[in-house]
Amino acid sequence: MLKCHHVQWREPQLSATTAHIPQTQDVSLIRLYVLRALYLFIVIGLGTQIVPDVFNPGRHWSLLEGIVSCVLASFWLLCLLGIRYPLQMLPVLFWELLWKTLWLGIVALPQWLAGHIDPAIVPNIFACAFVVLVYVALPWRYVFEHYVKAPGDRRR
């Protein structure tokens, strides 16, 4: 006589080491490719504009020029990682979204509302306007679930 044992399915528990790894099944494959395309767009754009100057040993930099170029080169490298790890590198896109949105709202918008825009900032307005692509590409439900709603890391 065979005995049947009832087996109850339990959800797998995440260990402390895997609890904070983003789960790609939370985001559609299409959205992951949209994110990868955004990272690639940034990598190509900065790769043609900033990277050649940064790796030019004969280039002499002013203080601000050197700082901005190194920050952008760092961002370029992190976006390169974002092509492979689109969800784990989302904080890099948050940074991009925040600084460009703040700059447009604090610097460009008041000049536009006053009726005079300094011609020196027009190229920056154009470049920062591409932040709309970040707003479109981000998986907002995932961001809310993993960065707003989720409990924070242990404090002790």
pLDDT in tens, 4-39: 555 454 544 554 544 555 566 789 999 999 999 999
Question: Which residue would you say has higher pLDDT here, 9 or 44?
Answer: 44
Given this model, what pLDDT does residue 1 score? Answer: 52
Report the C-alpha gap between 116 and 103 in whole angstroms: 16
pTM, whole model, 2 decimals? 0.80
Q: How far apart are CA 89 and CA 79, in angstroms?
A: 7
The end-to-end CA distance of the chain, in Å, is 54
List C-alpha distances in Å: 126 to 1, 4, 105, 152: 78, 69, 14, 37
For the packed helices 90-103 and 29-49, what is the interaxial angle rounded to 10 degrees?
60
Q: What SS3 class is residue 103?
A: helix
Residues in the chain: 156
Cβ-proximal residues to 42 (8 Å cutoff; 6+ apart), any chain: 75, 76, 79, 82, 96
